[in-house]
Amino acid sequence: MGFGRRKSVLGLDIGSHAIKLVEIKHTNKGPVITHVQSRSIPQVEDDEQDPAGATRETLHTLVDEAKLRGKRVVTAVSSALDEQVTMRSIFIPDLPLDAPEEVLQMSVRAEFEAQDYITYNDEAEIDCHIEREITLNGVRGLEVFVVAVHRDLIEGHVQLLRDCGLIPIAIDIDFLALARLLVVTQQLSPTGDTAVLDIGANQTAIGFYQPRQLYLYPHIPIAGNQLTSQLVQRLNVEWEEAEASKHAQVEEPEVWEALEDCLDQELYQQIYVHLDAYEREFPESRPAKMIVSGGTAQLPNLDQFFDSRFSIPIQIIHYLDQIAVDPKGDTAALRGNEPLFATAVGLALKQV
């Protein structure tokens, strides 16, 4: 990048509950957050209505309101769509570190077909990143991290963005965007493993970073909506009121009691199952810490709750101590909401 040249990238995180938008200006002094905005997606209750339509309309409104000058955007496909999104490290024998990109691509495709990793080989967009050269069973070759996404999913996202007047420059994977943020802000454990949770509205993503590898476990279908729905039942109130009591500092003991029961019986149990599976898969590598992201990471008391249940140190994701914010920008929405915007920040950190 030339001296003084600046580039803005929009990170757009389209969740099931809300769309989060962050603009980052990449300056020669590092990234600066210049705009932050979110908008809830009206929930579709009627089966006849199309949830994709609600997302599209919300995105149009958000982009119109934002009045952004930069149009270059990075968005993500959800790693929860595991029938259309696959990430894995594979070994390619007899390939040198300086193999041309086309040869690498062809070898990866051939390996994917041979191993039947995915059912959509002919429609897969494949992106690969060489991790290192290794010897496996006496054979020299490359360890390659591969992301395969069904073309229809990518094309759907590209079309959605173009319809809003945006210019897609990359389609990322949500969990990899979070990883980018954690790497840039040096939050991953340098020696041990780091467990990462993204607790949204409908689901919780859980993955583990080893210094050179990422292991994503199946998503947990429990997150903020289950907490709200527990409050609706226990307090006998409407959804909006339950949401408001969930967000507020919990002074009423009955609110926290209801939330704690739900956390204990549902979310904690399932996280525990995954942690246990991970520790059995890698007996010698215990996570050194657990980083929690996503809107539900902002639940007051969640960190104390996890602290009291898990023996691993808990850290709610943060980055404002490391990434600058433009004082003239429209960034007020970020205050108190770092976990909510973490994936969008990670997306906007991508430089293409």
Ligand X SMILES: Nc1ncnc2c1ncn2[C@@H]1O[C@H](COP(=O)(O)OP(=O)(O)OP(=O)(O)O)[C@@H](O)[C@H]1O
Interface residues toward Mg ion, by CB under 5 A: 15, 200
Residue 150 binds to ligand X (criterion: CB under 6 A): no
CA distance 83 to 64: 33
Minimum distance of Mg ion from residue 143's CB (angstroms)? 29
Binder of ligand X out of 223, 262, 267, 334 (CB under 6 A): 223
Binder of ligand X out of 296, 306, 312, 344 (CB under 6 A): 296
Q: Judged by CB, which is closer to ligand X: 200, or 346? A: 200
Rounded to 5°, angle at Cα 92 from 88 and 93: 150
Query: By C-alpha distance, which of 116, 31, 125, 13 is closest to 325?
Result: 31
Which partner in Mg ion, ligand X, none is near 225 (CB below 5 to 8 A by kind)?
Answer: ligand X
CA distance 139 to 123: 31
Residue 345 binds to ligand X (criterion: CB under 6 A): no
Give the full edge-to-edge strand order of the sheet including 7-14. Answer: 167-173, 72-77, 7-14, 18-27, 30-40, 324-330
Type of residue found at 67? K
Distance of CA 333 to the CA centre of its chain: 19
Binder of ligand X out of 31, 168, 295, 346 (CB under 6 A): 295
Binder of ligand X out of 18, 170, 288, 333 (CB under 6 A): 18
Contact 185, 338 (CB under 8 A): no
Residues 181-210 that bind ligand X (CB under 6 A): 200-203
Residue 27 binds to ligand X (criterion: CB under 6 A): no
Pairing mode of beta strands 167-173, 72-77? parallel
Query: By C-alpha distance, which of 278, 199, 290, 176 is closest to 246?
Result: 199
Which partner in Mg ion, ligand X, none is near 296 (CB below 5 to 8 A by kind)?
Answer: ligand X
Residues 239-268 that bind ligand X (CB under 6 A): 243, 246-247
Contacts to ligand X by CB under 6 A = 15-18, 200-203, 223-225, 243, 246-247, 294-296, 298-299, 340
